[in-house]
Amino acid sequence: MPQKPPPPGTPPAPLPAGWIRVDCHLHTVDSGDAITTLDELADRARAAGLDAVCITDHNVISAALAARGRDLGVRVITGEEIRTPDGDVIGLFLTERIPYVLPLAEVAQRIRAQGGLVYVPHPFDPGRSSLGGALAGLCEAGMADVIEVFNAKIADPARNQRAAVAAAGAGLPGGVGSDAHDPDGIGAAYLEMPDFDGPASFVRALASARVIGEYRDHAPRYR
């Protein structure tokens, strides 16, 4: 069971030396279905005690690149949540946008070609574009790097637990995302983990990560 984050407005407890808090999956206005601006993201991330965020907008990386060019007081990892015919997959540590609706295998290859990581979000959530049964094939092909084991927008804990079982069965580390589409969602879920300096050390650090999270629904307009 994940540990719950502190209530909004309550500072989190200090971390061990060399550890940071990371949200692996959140959105800005550039996603088209979210309302969070970069300034709001920065304010909420600082208030939640986050040290790094993966901006994973739908099919674009413009906001992530813009954020990396500013001093927001939080480290930004460039990501993209990419629609494929089999469901959504996220690329982390990207340098270039990847087009949507390409075959899943090609998207995974393009992520890897950039030196990025293939991160599988909410794999068993039937209410969204999730990989579901396609996850097994991606793992068997050795083309998945991280499986999201806690997503704060999933109301049924069994679906997050199923993702955790799948990650363990595939021998892959687990990621955690608030999947925030509004400022209030930021801080709902994150990892406490050793610091890292790139994709490979990020994956290694995930092995020691602690899951912090609670269910926090989208703002009513996005239900």
Structural domain count, the chain: 1
Binning pLDDT at 50, 70 and 90, where does residue 1 land? confident
Is 5 among the domain residues? Answer: no
pLDDT surpassing 60 at residue 89? yes
Mean of pLDDT over the chain: 96
pTM, 2 dp: 0.96
What are the backbone dihedrals phi and psi of residue 64, each rounded to the nearest 5 degrees, phi first?
-60, -45
222 pLDDT tier (thresholds 50, 70, 90):
very low
Q: Considering the domain boundaries, does residue 13 fall inside one?
A: no
State the pLDDT at residue 83. Answer: 98
Cβ contacts of 198-206, under 8 Å, gap ≥ 24: 198/93, 199/92, 199/93, 199/115, 199/116, 199/117, 202/92, 202/93, 202/117, 203/117, 203/145, 203/146, 203/173, 206/146, 206/173, 206/174, 206/175
Q: What is the pLDDT of residues 14-38, one digit of tens each?
A: 999 999 999 999 999 999 999 999 9
* pLDDT for res 221: 54
pLDDT the model gives residue 223: 40
How far is residue 28's CA from residue 38's CA, in Å, rounded to a whole number?
7
Contact 124, 157 (CB under 8 A): no
**What pLDDT digit, counting tens, does each position of 117-148 carry?**
999 999 999 989 999 999 999 999 999 999 99
Q: What is the pLDDT of residue 49?
A: 96
Residue 14 placed within a domain: no
Residue showing tokens 């460039």: 78
Q: Is 27 among the domain residues?
A: yes
Instruction: Tell me whether residue 120 is in a domain.
Output: yes
Average pLDDT, integer, range 70-84:
97
Residue 55 sits in which domain range?
Answer: 19-222
What average pLDDT does range 176-193 have in this prediction? 97
**Torsion over CA: 55, 189, 175, 17 (sign):** positive
Q: Does some domain include residue 7?
A: no
Name residue 211's beta-bridge partners: 191
Specify the CATH number for the domain of residue 29.
Answer: 3.20.20.140
Is the pLDDT confidence value at 219 over 90? no
Residue 59 per-residue DSSP state: S
Mean pLDDT computed over 196-221: 92
Mean pLDDT (whole number) for 103-130: 97
The answer to the question of residue 2 being in a domain is: no
Q: What is the DSSP letter of 97?
A: -
Tell whether the model's pLDDT for residue 203 goes beyond 90. Answer: yes
Residue 9 within any structural domain of the chain? no
Strand ranges (E), 30-135: 52-55, 75-84, 87-92, 117-120
Residue 177 corresponds to which tokens in the numbers above?
Answer: 């995302």
Report residue 58's pLDDT band, with 50, 70 and 90 as the boundaries: very high
